[in-house]
Structure 1
């Protein structure tokens, strides 16, 4: 859900809609990107673990 909200904001910005960004939005973006990255790393680690065992 957070990723969809982020995508919507970026699409609106790209189409010329002025978007007021608060510091909390930057903080939320940081958390979202960190979480998405960690999820991908965890998936890769799980796949490697399954290959080894």
Structure 2
């Protein structure tokens, strides 16, 4: 049995979100991964990153 469905995760499937994610500092990337938050848009990703970096 597989764990989750990575094909339904915009963080790994949407090229624009992927590019934005890869541009973030490594500690922000790790924190987002470890939190388990489901990123569904570039705007949501940016809000998470801003929160984590104190912007």
TM (norm. structure 2) is 0.28
Higher helix proportion (structure 1 or 2):
1
Q: Highest Rg: 1 or 2?
A: 1
